[in-house]
Chain A
Amino acid sequence: MEFKSEKLQNGLVVIGEVNESAKSAAVGFFVKTGARDETKRINGVSHFLEHMLFKGTEKLSALEVNEAFDRTGAQFNAFTSEENTVYYAAVLPEYLLEVTQLWAELMRPALRDDDFTIEKNVIKEEIAMYKDSPSFDAMERCRTLHFDGHPCGNSVLGSEESIDGLTAGQMRDYFTSRYAPNNMVLACAGNFDWDRFRCLAAESCGSWQSRTVSRALEDCGGSRKKERIEKANLVREHVCLMSAGVSAQDPRRFAAALLGTIIGDDVGSRFFWELVDKALAETATIKLDAMDGTGAFCSYIQCSSENVAKVLDTVGGIFDGLARDGITKEELRAAKNKVLSALVIKNELPMGRLVDLGFNWIYLEQHRTIEQDVSEIKAVTVDQVHSLLEQFSLSDFTQMRLGPAGDS
């Protein structure tokens, strides 16, 4: 694999990792903007804007955009998080430049009023859909409760009210302030010709104007508040816990991710043996969510209302046990094996590789090979995990529960 990079004069970073043995290529624009970059008044605009980019340019209608993608057979989509908006496509090598050109055009969208009005309905349907997904709902509410005013607690979708109040003008202003080339990365992984890719990027994106873009970076320890919300139609208890974790830039992120696997992988972890294997909960996971300048450990547990007190006691016991006695060498070894396998398998697909390639640049401004990540994971010691456990108390968590009415 060969890594290539270039920075256009306007600040757009273009990077690529060429793998000639791949049968496909994956390309993506990574825009460093998301819910945390919004004010309350325009909450949900990053995600709404992601939808609007598919609505076309001055030259292309929405249907023409969809047809143009589908003519290449690309598997394409986009996603928005608290801090990034990513547009991607996996495609056969012969269509790579065509799809890249199309994405580049869409990065300068028309944002028409009538498209905005129709799409508002779709956004509201998406909000309604996630209301019917209590695991998602619990996680999002927990994030808001945990970050308690810190922008990382902003909802990605926004609320029905914030979306109702949003205007196309506000969206255009937000677009101008955030989609500057110096706030974006264009990345490609797989089987492609770097020189042609680079030239296309320069031709299609070179005229975009750079501007000053900033983001408030502030760490957040979390509110440690506890709340329960009742919903009459729910049957199970959905529990989300969040506590402070390491950021995406923190060298301790590898140890923290391994700690997450030891505690809450879906099989063979402490949560698994104490909660799932014993049939106290049907789901129990914990993951590190490493973000820009801050981070959190997030647990999600689903169980019956009768079991919830016992489940929370057990979780408390697991966290206390870890703080007191730490982890074992065997646990760390098994976690490394699992994380390494998953990493290697994911990176065998250009689409999997693209995600790591893009985010490594977004967060670290560096190219990291798979081998570098593999050796960092292998090098994590039990002592490093223990020192992490001393610095980040898992027991100091924020708790959000969603469950049926009439239970506590």
Chain B
Amino acid sequence: MTEKFDIHTLKNGMVLLGEPMEAVQSVAFDFMIPAGAACLPDGCCGAGSVIADWVFRGAGDRDSRQLSNALDGLGLVRGRSLSSSHLAVGAALEAGNLAPALDLHADIILRPHLKQDQFELARQLAVDEVLSLDDDPRQKVMLKLRERFYPSPLGRSTVGEIAELKALTPEMSRSIVKDGFNISQTIFSVAGKYNFDAICRQMEKLFKTGRREGIEPVTLGRKGGKYTHIDNDGAQVHIGLMTETVKPTDEDYYNARVAISVLSGGMSARLFTEVREKRGLCYAIGARYHGLKEAAGVICYAGTTPDKAQETLDCIIGEFNRLGDGISDEEIARAKVGLKSALILQSESSSSRAGAIGSDYYMLGRVRSLDEIKDRIEQTTVDSVLSFLRSNKFRDFTVVTIGPKQVLVQ
């Protein structure tokens, strides 16, 4: 496989990344704006959710409806997401419409109207979204888990807190847009069918802003409590569990990824086999790697009826602890082929690739080729994974449960 990446830095410092894909007619792009939940000033939890809506309610010389019609007219499949580090806006679309789509996004990022009446509506929707989490315990448990696992403010909720949303004013939000929408620190990524020279020329014209420094790295505070239970008279106890592991920049990153894949990569992995197949404790059970630039963990979810909750949690923690005791060659081989295969399958989607190269650049300062990732996965062995697990034992589990019954965390 021959892979080529495009990279260019605009005069203002914004980095443009590209990955051409021959087999597709689509193109996908992402603007990763450094205004994620952890970058917000204290007391503004949820402002990102309001702003991500507000900037689409009129920009440049278009009001809200005209802007929406213009985006729909291009057939954009819109995407926007909030993470700890970034507010990302982007889209996937037919390749021929890329240039006008970028024009519209320059308006959204540089010239949003941010009108007061529209602010109230965006905030109301953000408040409603927080309230509706109570009816979605599975999503809520994971949100609460990240909040408690990561040192503050890394795990701050991207959805928000009601009290802080209610106290938020249009002025505070405008100032967050002014400070947080730092174009010099924004990463733009594109994948699919495109002409990179044309994109660079267009982006240089669209984003003629001054160069700005990035904000200081956030000061890390305390982690939340080890066990939190939220009472809810639902049918299941929703269990979220997280424990520390190495960051994406760590030498042992691939050993960690393979180890987690042995634990929960496929249906023959440890958790699925022990918790669901042998004991019938759960329908939904799984763990995956969750990495930020500053910290990383293994994040696990299981949903089970109240009488089985304790046994489920004990069984899961038992499997985490047992992993370092021994892993077979077969298990490692399956974990490796699973990771490599997932990588290639995702590489067929322009949206996935645009997201992946942007995230690589943010995390590592460069884009990894698929071959590099495959080689690094291939280099792991039973010994390297076990030696990693023995020197990085899973301990200090952070647990959150939502449901009618509490559990005991050892």
Contact = CB atoms under 8 A, between A and B. Distances in A.
Contacts of B135: 134, 234-236, 238, 302
Given A119-B280, A121-B281, A133-B138, A70 B267 contact: yes
A172 B66 CA distance: 58
Contacts of A345: 26, 77, 92, 350-351
Interface in A232-265: 232-236, 238
Interface string B127-158: 01101101111100000000000000000000
B409 interface: no
B238 A132 contact: yes
The 3 closest A-B pairs by CB, nearest first: A73-B341, A121-B280, A337-B75
A221 interface: no
A73 B138 contact: no
A74 B65 CA distance: 44
Contacts of B93: 341
B138 A334 contact: no
A341 B77 contact: yes
Interface stretch (A17-25, A142-150, A354-362): A17-25
Q: Which of A118, A279, A340 has the most CB of B within 10 A?
A: A279
Interface in A117-131: 118-126, 128-129, 131
Contacts of A341: 26, 75-77, 92-94
A69 B266 CA distance: 9
Contact of A129 (B128, B233, B235, B278): B235
Interface string A267-283: 11000010011110010
Interface residues of A, number: 67
A304 interface: yes
Interface string A39-50: 000000000000
A122 B276 contact: yes
A149 B152 CA distance: 54
A112 interface: no
B25 A348 contact: yes
Q: Which of B73, B238, B269, B330 has the most CB of A within 10 A?
A: B73
B268 A67 contact: yes
A132 B273 CA distance: 24
Contact of A233 (B234, B284, B338): B234
Contacts of A232: 233
A63 B337 contact: no
A391 to B, nearest CB: 27
B132 A73 contact: no
Contacts of B265: 70
Nearest to B330: A67
B367 to A, nearest CB: 18
6 contacts: A66-B266, A70-B334, A268-B69, A344-B94, A348-B26, A348-B350
A96 to B, nearest CB: 12
Nearest to A333: B73
B23 A70 contact: no
Given A73-B338, A345-B351, 7 more contacts: A23-B347, A118-B278, A125-B303, A282-B129, A330-B69, A348-B24, A350-B348
Interface of A: 21-24, 54, 62-63, 66-67, 69-76, 90-92, 95, 118-126, 128-129, 131-134, 232-236, 238, 267-268, 273, 276-279, 282, 302-304, 330, 333-334, 337-338, 340-342, 344-345, 348-351
B359 interface: no
Interface string B275-297: 01111111110000000000000
Contacts of B330: 67
B78 interface: yes
Contact of B137 (A132, A342, A349): A132
B234 A66 contact: no
Interface residues of B, number: 77
A267 B234 CA distance: 31
Nearest to B302: A125
Nearest to B305: A128
Contacts of A133: 136, 138
A227 B72 CA distance: 36
Contacts of A333: 73
A235 B342 CA distance: 38
Interface in B311-348: 330, 333-334, 337-342, 344-345, 347-348
A267 B72 contact: yes
Contacts of B138: 129, 132-133
Interface in B14-40: 22-26
Given A66-B272, A71-B334, A341-B77, A24 B345 contact: yes
Given A70-B266, A278-B121, A23 B131 contact: no
Nearest to B21: A348
B341 A235 contact: no
B124 interface: yes
A66 B267 contact: yes
Nearest to B349: A349
Contacts of A238: 135
A236 B133 CA distance: 9
A348 B23 contact: yes
Contacts of A351: 345
Given A73-B337, A344-B25, A337 B73 contact: yes
A62 B75 contact: no
Contacts of B349: 348-349
A75 B94 contact: no
Contacts of A303: 128
B72 A338 contact: yes
Contact of A71 (B78, B337, B344): B337
Nearest to B137: A132
Q: Which of A74, A132, A238, A304 has the most CB of B within 10 A?
A: A132
A120 B305 CA distance: 14
Interface string B251-276: 00000000000000111110011001
B236 interface: yes
Given A233-B233, A279-B121, A348-B349, A21 B283 contact: no
B200 interface: no
Contacts of B84: none
Contacts of B272: 66
B71 interface: yes
Contact of B132 (A63, A95, A236, A334): A236
Contacts of B220: none
Contact of A63 (B65, B125, B277, B340): B277
B380 interface: no
A232 B25 CA distance: 50
Contact of B282 (A71, A75, A122, A234): A122
Q: Which of B134, B280, B304 has the most CB of A within 10 A?
A: B280
Q: Which of A62, A73, A124, A342 has the most CB of B within 10 A?
A: A73
B12 interface: no
Nearest to B134: A235
